[in-house]
Every structure is written in structure tokens, then in C-alpha cells.
Structure 1
Amino acid sequence: MTTPSRALRADAARNRELLLAAAEEEFADRGLDASVADIARRAGVGKGTVFRHFATKDDLIVAIVREHVGVLDDAGQRLLEADDPGAALLEFLTEAAGRREQRDLSFLLNAVDAGPEVIALREQLNRTITSLVDRAREAGAVRADVTGADVVLLMCAPSHVVSYLPDPPPDLWRRYLALIFDGLRPEGAHPLGPPAPEFS
């Protein structure tokens, strides 16, 4: 028999998952202007339930960013151990672009007024990406003038490009990822012009 306390914990966990899913959808639809009331309505719960799990809207944003960045950072850390640094970088970019194709929440990660925890998560992911790029560059898999900052900026490009089409074919983003990765390769490379930006 399920005890009352266990049932309450299960309900709380289910409500938290509902809230995170609803918040992702609401932020994707409305951006940072999404309200707690709208998120609660989409989740089918009251505002009080939201605040029992997340004291502020910023706490809710941090939880979403932590989940998505955590998955990417874990993938990146695993791929740092791969034998083929070039293939590892391509696999990471494929994972990143695929997740953004499902739902692009990069604006939460890159918001100008992002809180300290979101900034720390972003910086950790940037360090992981830079390490992947450094390994690929040292192995000769990408051109010598490509930096981690370049790749961070290119990560969202495949899914961003296809978002301009009203009804893009499934997996069209893979075409543009292939074009991007070919541009990273050293074969036939031409000078890039301006230097790469620095991470802030």
C-alpha cells in the first residue's frame, strides 16, 4: 500500500515535471515575458503550486537551463575522452543542434540580465566546447584559426536557419550542420578576416 507521504512526494515530483514542461513551452512561445500565471495555467495547477516549487520566475528559468545545459555539458565531457577529436566535435554539434530543433531555449541561457547561476552554467558549457574545439584543432580536424567562441556562436545556426521556413522538412537542419562543419575543416580554407570574439 502506498503511504500518504509517499503519495505526496509522487504528486510533488509530478507537479514539478508538469511545471518545467509547461514553462519550457510558455517561454518558447512568449519569451521571457511569459508570466507565472500563464505557466501555471498551462500546467493545470494554481500559482501557489508554482511558488511552492520555485520561489521566483528566475528560479524556474535556472531549473530549465540547468537541465538542458547539463545534458549538453555531460555529452561534451564524455566526448572529450573520444579517440577521434574531429568526430567528437561533430557529434557534439549534432546533439546541440538536435536539441535546439526540438525547442530553442537559447534566449534563456543568453539573456542579458541572466542571473549568476545561469551565467555560471553558460561559462561551464563554453569551457567544455572550447576544450572540444582545441582537441579537434590540435588533431588537424578543424582549421587552425577556429576558436571555441566561433563554435559556440555557430551551435544554434542549423536550427535557426530552418526556422525561417514555414514548414521545414524533418531533419533539414542536418544539411546546414554539414555545411557548417565542412567550413570548419582545414581543406581549402581561406583567411577569415576579423578575429574571433572573446567570451564575456
Structure 2
Amino acid sequence: MTTSRPLRADAARNRALLLAAAADEFAEHGLGASVADIARRAGVGKGTVFRHFPTKDDLIAAIVLDRIQALAAIGERLLDSGDPGAALLEFLTAAAQQRQQRDLSFLQEAGDVRPEVGKARTAMFQTIDTLVDRAREYGVIRTDVTGTDVILLMCAPGYVANSLPDAAPDLWRRYLAIIFDGLRPEGAHPLPQPPPDLL
């Protein structure tokens, strides 16, 4: 059995530059973004792109995985918070900010074909489920809200704000506040349908 060695400092730097440049190119030009333009934006040659990511699909999967892992790391850090309500709000804020900085949700379907992406997403969903369980146990969110409910609401603030032309940059915060108020137990009414099963 072989284990992958950590990247050299210059290789790790090039990989990070490529992921950032590719995310910007895909955000601006969609899936049609060219490898040549990504390499130019990162300040490296096309050969460097293909050494790190043999195909464009590999690059897309790496971007999706990088974003999932960044959010998962935030969620895992918040699991030990003494204030589960604040922890859940902080996680949802981080998720909305990530989408607001670069809405790359259209890449998810392309990235999902890779097993490592699916595995990372499942692990992140389990972290979210635990954050929600803790908030529910502490009585800071309503008893009938599940991790699946929160997962499905994560993208809503950015989606609402991005659907409006010339929206204020922080408009998503308004809708996140509305969502979070809806999660709180005060004034809650019974929900008409059970949650879907994602986990």
C-alpha cells in the first residue's frame, strides 16, 4: 500500500493558485472556461495545469472538493462551541459567504461524479446534522427542524440575493436572518410536511 506524499511548497502554491484562478474563470465564463485562460490567470504554463489536473473534470472536482472541505473544517471547529445556536448561525453565514464570493453551484453536478467529492459531502452533511442536533437539544432551534432542512436552506440567502439585478452586496444577510428566525422555536407552528431524506 502506498501513501501520497505531501506536495512540495512550490507545487502546493501552484495548486492553490490554479484552484483560485480556475474558480474565477468558471465563475465568469461557466464550464466553457479554457485551460489556457486558467493557466494564464494563475501565472503558470498549461503543462503545470495538466500535471496537477490531468483533465478539466479533475480540476472541476478539485474546486468542488476544496469548497466542501473548507466548509466542513468550519463546521468541525464549531462542534465544540459552548453556544450551539451561535455556532449554527456562524456556519450558515460562512456557507452563504462562500456562495456570495463565487457562485459555483453549477459545478457541483460535474464534481459529484467523483467518489471523493461524494464522500466529502456526506461527511460535511453529517457535521451539519450534528450542529443542528446540538442546537435542537439546547432549545435554540425548533424541535421539528432537521439537519436535512438546514442543508437545503444553506444556499437560499445567496440564491435570493443573486436573482435580483443590482442587489446590495450584503442583501443575502437579510434572508439569512429571516431563515434563522424561522429556525427558532418562538412562535413556531407545526410544519405541513416531513423533511426529505438526504442523509
The TM-score bracket by the shorter chain reads: 0.7 to 0.9
Query: What is the Cα deviation at residue 22 of structure 1?
Result: 1.7
Q: SS at the partner of 1:178?
A: helix
Unaligned runs of 5+ in 1: 1-8
Is 1:175 aligned to 2:162, yes or no?
no
CA distance in 1, matches of 2:33, 2:14: 19
CA distance in 2, matches of 1:78, 1:12: 28
CA distance in 2, matches of 1:111, 1:135: 33
Matches within 5 A, 1:180-195: 180-195=179-194
Q: SS at the partner of 2:167?
A: coil
Q: SS at the partner of 1:144?
A: coil
C-alpha distance after superposition, 1:35-78 (max 9, x if no partner)? 43442344354432210121122321232223222221111111
Unaligned runs of 5+ in 2: 1-7
Change (3 A) 1:11 1:144: closer
Number of equivalenced pairs: 192
Q: 1:17 is aligned with what amino acid?
A: A
1:5 paired residue number: none
TM-score by length of 2: 0.86
Matches within 5 A, 1:58-97: 58-97=57-96
Change (3 A) 1:134 1:159: same
Q: SS at the partner of 1:165?
A: coil
CA contact (8 A) 2:182 2:188 kept: yes
CA contact (8 A) 1:126 1:148 kept: yes
Between 1:123-132 and 1:56-65, the stretch displaced more is 56-65
1:120 paired residue number: 119
CA distance in 1, matches of 2:112, 2:76: 27
Q: SS at the partner of 1:159?
A: helix
2:5 paired residue number: none
Change (3 A) 1:189 1:182: same
1:4 paired residue number: none
CA distance in 1, matches of 2:140, 2:117: 31
CA distance in 1, matches of 2:108, 2:88: 21
CA-based RMSD of the aligned residues comes to: 2.1
- Identity of paired residues, percent? 69
2:137 paired residue number: 138
Query: What is the Cα deviation at residue 11 of structure 1?
Result: 5.3
CA distance in 1, matches of 2:12, 2:110: 28
TM-score by length of 1: 0.85
2:163 paired residue number: 164
CA distance in 2, matches of 1:135, 1:69: 21
CA contact (8 A) 1:109 1:122 kept: no
Q: 2:195 is aligned with what amino acid?
A: A
1:39 paired residue number: 38
